[in-house]
Each structure stands twice: as structure tokens, then as C-alpha cells.
Amino acid sequence: MLVKTFQAADMSEALKMVKAEMGLDAMILSSKQERRRGILGFFSKPYFEVTAALEQKKVQRPVHYQEKPERELSTREEFQNSMLAPLARELRELRERVEVLAKKDAEKKEALSSTAAEKSEDEIKPFQPQKEGTAPRIFAREDMEEIKKLLLNAVAAKEEKGSKPVSFPVVSTEDKVCVKNLADDCELSDEALELLANELRSEEVGTDSIHALLELIRPAAELGEELEALRERLVDAFAGIIKCSGPLRLRKTGPRIMATVGPTGVGKTTTIAKLAAMYALNRGARVAMVTTDNFRVGAVEQLKTYSKIMDVPLEVAATAKELEAVLAKHADKDLILIDTAGRSPKDREKLEELKVYLESCPGIETYLCISATTRDREMNEIVAQYSLLPITRLLFTKLDESESYGCIVNAQVRNRFPLSYFTTGQKVPEDIEVATARKLANLVLRETEK
């Protein structure tokens, strides 16, 4: 992080210097009025000293070419390569031998006595092992058809997978459909569902959520849909279990009041600035910002900077009475955004104070901000402890820093608080979007949203 101090005759000139040298992404850490030291400084004009910081972006290094590893074979493909392929070869050889024997039997049958020749082929006794020196063995029609069906059943899965088909004697279409239904459908549907379940597990989605999602697409899997079609259905199935609140909707009969709460460092202040910019600059709404965070160094100054840039009023309310007065002062606004100080979920006393603070003014909607980088167990603890407050929504930050997103699914399904917004970076107001079930599904399944 780059930190630099600027000196100027007045505050506005100092801010211009910060903006010119460090850009709009700079964060104001402190500002104060000073006089020059020494005797002469007593007669000189005071000056303003501003300390600003800028988060330096990491340089993206070029990724060297790496050969892609060969695709891992699925369990079904390994089974085909190790078992079905040799079996298919053996069965083809057996079929050829059977056809040769059948041809010899047919020729021998014509040479039999007239009594044996008049008998129906269906009445000939089934194949029996022959003793040495006896008449050649004869195959009945039902024996031949049974052997054909056994061969078809053994390699039907291999043919369905697109491998080189094995030629067989003519078998009716009805027989093929029956074999396919019995041998493939259940196995293929179970395999596809297991593959999708493994994808969800790799993203740390909980067992209950996985079961609920797969039950929604099981009927399509049992009808034989391909894996990609099932994955698209799974994306749609998220809407069946994930609840989202949609964007903040402004009222016609008074301001919409929103407060963000959560642990320290999750990005509550930046989120407030993003929402203020979204509604004030993009939608032309009348917005006011309120902060109660007088604990963190630079928190008020950071919002002051955004307030001046967006021309949005900023108020500081240290007590519940001050908050009540501020809300009354800005009753003509469309939206009032309240930034609170970060609280540890283990600090019960501070959470009790925050509860009294929020409940002192009716109509405040409380959004719990959680970083998407939080582990599932810790996230569960945060939501459980913060449930002491009048939570109405969940808001997830830092999705750009997270490696998996199953914890978001688990938190929503487990606690039933609707999802409101996702934030994906530090840019104001670009890096925020309304949370949707489809967006979360695409994140979990690593899909590009269409």
C-alpha cells in the first residue's frame, strides 16, 4: 500500500492534489490543520495536512504455456477399457464360431434321413454335449436367438457411447429398446447425478443442499438427458432453493433506510459508498449517508471523500438519539444508508449495544455483510451470533477473492435470510450487483452466465 502526505492552504486544494497524484481510488487516512513550527510559524497562516493511501494493484505476470493434462477417464470409461473391450472381442470370436457351427449343422441336417428332415427346426432338441463318434450337434432356433441377445446385452453400452459398432445378426428394434432401458438408463442417470454431486462437493456445498438440488433434476436424469443438459437444469434448480430479495426498491411515502452490520474488514463502508453512487448518480435518487463508525481510523474521512465527489450529504451519529435526529432531518430523502462499526461476533456486549441502536428507530432494514472468503464453519457462527440483531438480508462481499462459493449456498439455505447483493472488488460503483440464484449457480458450477 502506498501512503503519502499532502500539504495545502485549504482542504479542497489538498484533496485536488490527492486526486491528481493518486487518482480516485485513494483512501483518506487522516486530515488536520497545522501551523508551521518555530517563532515565525506563529505569525504564518495555518495549512492543511492530508494523509492518503492507495492500494497498489498486483502486476499480472504472463502465464507460461503448460501442457494440459490428459483428461482423466471416468469410472465407466475405465470399466469399458479394462472389461468390456476384451469381452467384446471374445464375444465376436464366439459369434463367428457359432455361425460356422450353425452353417455346418444346416448342411448336416439336409443329409439326415427323411424322417429327421421332416421334423420342424423348432422341435429339434437343444444343444447337448456330444460323445466322440456320435452325430454332429444341432442348434435350435431359440438357442441361436438367446446367444444373439446375450451378445447384444454385453456390448450395448459400448455401442451407445459411440465406439465402433459390432455387427450382429438381425435383432428386432423392440429387443434393442428393451435392452437399452434395462442396462443403461438407470446406470447413466445415476452416473450423471453423481458427477454433478461431486462438482457441488468440490465447491463445498452442503449435503442437504446437494440432495435438494439433485432431487429437482432427477426426473430429467431418469429420462436419459445428457450431462450438459442436466447441468443447465441444475443452474435453473438453484432458483428452487435459493431465495434472493432483489434490489433496494425506493418508496413513495418516505425514505428507505438500510444499515450494514458485520465483522471488521468485510467492506461495509465501501459497500455503502457503492450503493450511494448507484442510486444517486445512476438513478438520480436523493440519498443521504450516515456513519456511526468512529472507531476505525479513516472511516469517516473515507466516506467524506465519497460524499464530496457524489454531492451526497454525510452525517455522523454516535448515539441512538443522534441517529433519530439525523433520520428526521433527512426524512425528505429517497434512501438513507447507515454504516456501522465492525463488531466481533464473539463480543456479545457490543452486539447488544448495536441492537439497541438499530431498534431505536423503526423502519431500519439490517443487512449482514459477510466476506465470501470466510470458511463455512466460521460463517455459520457469524450468522448465528448476529441473529441477535434484526437481520433482514445477507450481503456477500469479496467474491473476487474467494476460491469457492458453496458457503454462500449453505448460509442461505441454513438460515433462510434472502441474498441481496454481491460485491466483487473495490471500484465504486462498478463492483456491486444484485444477487440472483442463477448468478450464484454459475459461480458454483464455474459457468459463464449467458
Binning pLDDT at 50, 70 and 90, where does residue 422 land? Answer: very high
Percentage of the chain beyond pLDDT 90 is 35
String of b and e for 146-157 (b: at least 16 CB within 10 Å)?
ebbbebbebbbb
Q: What pLDDT does residue 450 have?
A: 47
User: Does residue 327 have a pLDDT over 70?
Assistant: yes
Hey, is 348 helix, strand or coil? helix
The answer, as to whether pTM is greater than 0.85, is: no
Binning pLDDT at 50, 70 and 90, where does residue 190 land? Answer: confident
Q: What pLDDT does residue 96 have?
A: 76
Q: Which of 104-113, 133-142, 209-218, 301-310 has the highest mean predicted lDDT (pLDDT)?
A: 209-218
CA–CA gap between residue 288 and residue 279 (Å, rounded): 10
Determine how β-strand 364-371 pairs with β-strand 419-423: unpaired
Task: Tell me the residue type at 37.
Answer: R
Any idea where the domains of the chain sit in the sequence?
A: 2-54, 153-241, 256-444
The C-alpha cell at 122 is 423348432
Q: What pLDDT does residue 182 have?
A: 41
User: Does residue 239 have a pLDDT over 70?
Assistant: yes
Question: Edge-to-edge strands of the sheet including 47-54?
Answer: 2-8, 47-54, 27-34
Q: Which of 9-18, 144-153, 372-381 has the highest mean predicted lDDT (pLDDT)?
A: 372-381
String of b and e for 415-438 (b: at least 16 CB within 10 Å)?
bebebbbbbbbbebbebbeebbbb
| Backbone dihedral region for residue 171 (phi beyond 0: left; psi -120 to 50: alpha; all else: beta) | beta
Compare 4 and 150 and report the one with higher pLDDT. 4
State the residue for C-alpha cell 481510523.
Answer: 297
- Give Dmax over CA atoms of the chain in angstroms: 141
CA–CA gap between residue 196 and residue 85 (Å, rounded): 27
pLDDT mean over 319-329? 91
CA–CA gap between residue 196 and residue 348 (Å, rounded): 41
Q: What pLDDT does residue 364 have?
A: 93
Residue 192 burial by Cβ neighbours in a 10 Å radius (0-12, 13-18, 19+) = buried
Compare 33 and 407 and report the one with higher pLDDT. 407
Chain Cα centroid distance, residue 272: 24
Residue 46, C-beta contacts closer than 8 angstroms, at least 6 positions apart: 33, 34, 35
Binning pLDDT at 50, 70 and 90, where does residue 319 land? Answer: confident
Q: What pLDDT does residue 406 have?
A: 93
User: Does residue 129 have a pLDDT over 80?
Assistant: no
> Which regions of 234-280 does DSSP assign to beta strands (E)?
256-261
Q: Domain 256-444 in CATH: superfamily?
A: P-loop containing nucleotide triphosphate hydrolases (3.40.50.300)
Binning pLDDT at 50, 70 and 90, where does residue 136 land? Answer: very low
Compare 100 and 63 and report the one with higher pLDDT. 100
Q: What pLDDT does residue 95 have?
A: 74
Query: First and final CA of the chain: distance in angstroms?
Result: 37
Q: What pLDDT does residue 449 have?
A: 55
The alpha carbons of the chain give a radius of gyration, in whole angstroms, of 37
Least-confidence region, from 148-152, 264-268, 290-294: 148-152
Handedness of CA 92, 97, 98, 104 (dihedral sign): positive
**What is the 3-state composition of the chain as percent helix, strand, coil, each rounded to the nearest 5?**
50, 15, 35
CA–CA gap between residue 386 and residue 261 (Å, rounded): 9
pLDDT mean over 247-257? 91
Mean pLDDT, all residues of the chain: 77
Q: What pLDDT does residue 177 have?
A: 45
Q: What pLDDT does residue 213 have?
A: 93
User: Does residue 273 have a pLDDT over 60?
Assistant: yes
pLDDT mean over 21-49? 72
8 Å CB contact between 358 and 312: no
Compare 303 and 201 and report the one with higher pLDDT. 201
User: Does residue 444 have a pLDDT over 90?
Assistant: yes
Q: What pLDDT does residue 396 have?
A: 96
Binning pLDDT at 50, 70 and 90, where does residue 114 land? Answer: low
Q: What pLDDT does residue 17 have?
A: 86
Q: What pLDDT does residue 2 have?
A: 78
Q: What pLDDT does residue 247 have?
A: 92
